[in-house]
Amino acid sequence: MRHILYLDGAGRETQYHSTSEERDAASHFAGQTGGRVYETMVATVQAAGVRHISKIELLGLLQGTGHGDANWPSAYEVMTARRYVEQWSEHLINYGELPDDADLVALLATIYT
């Protein structure tokens, strides 16, 4: 919930990356000045030992006051997060289960092109 809603603001610590299955959405977030779109595939993410959370899974979690890791005190905020997921066709990549000594730089180079 914190990640999808951008709570704690820019530069916040998060174990997730937001991705989109729609190039238009990714381009919109990349903006016109300085951003770029990176590509990956679910199979690539999974082969790198990283967990992919699909849009369908997210939409299932974001109901009522949220389920599982999406459990949250405010139903309003859960619904707002759900709106973002649907609108931007959002998927998450979760790095939280990696070992502490994982080489993230090398991992990201493997996942994204």
Partner 1 sequence: MLPLSCVNCSFNGLQYDSVGTTVGYCTEHKRVLNTPSELTCGRLFRKDLLLASARREQQLHEQRFTPSAISYLRTRQVANGASTSASKSDVHALESDRVALAVTSYGRLNTKIESLAQLSALDGARADIALLSLGRVYVRRCKDRGGRWTSGLHLLWWIRARLTTEPAIDIRDIRIETALPIARQIELAQWSILMLRLTVLSDLGSYATEEGHGVRALADLAECAALETRELSFRKLFRWIRTTGRERVGKALSEDEYERLSSDLHQDDSG
DSSP state for residue 18 in the 8-state scheme: E
Min dist. Cβ of residue 7 to partner 1 (A) = 7
* Residue for token pair 């949250």: 72
Q: x/- string (CB under 8 A) for partner 1, residues 39-78? A: ------------------------xxx--------xxxxx
Nearest residue (CB) to partner 1, 3 versus 52: 3
Q: Which residues neighbour 22 within 8 Å (Cβ) at sequence distance 6 or greater?
A: 88, 89
Nearest residue (CB) to partner 1, 48 versus 70: 70
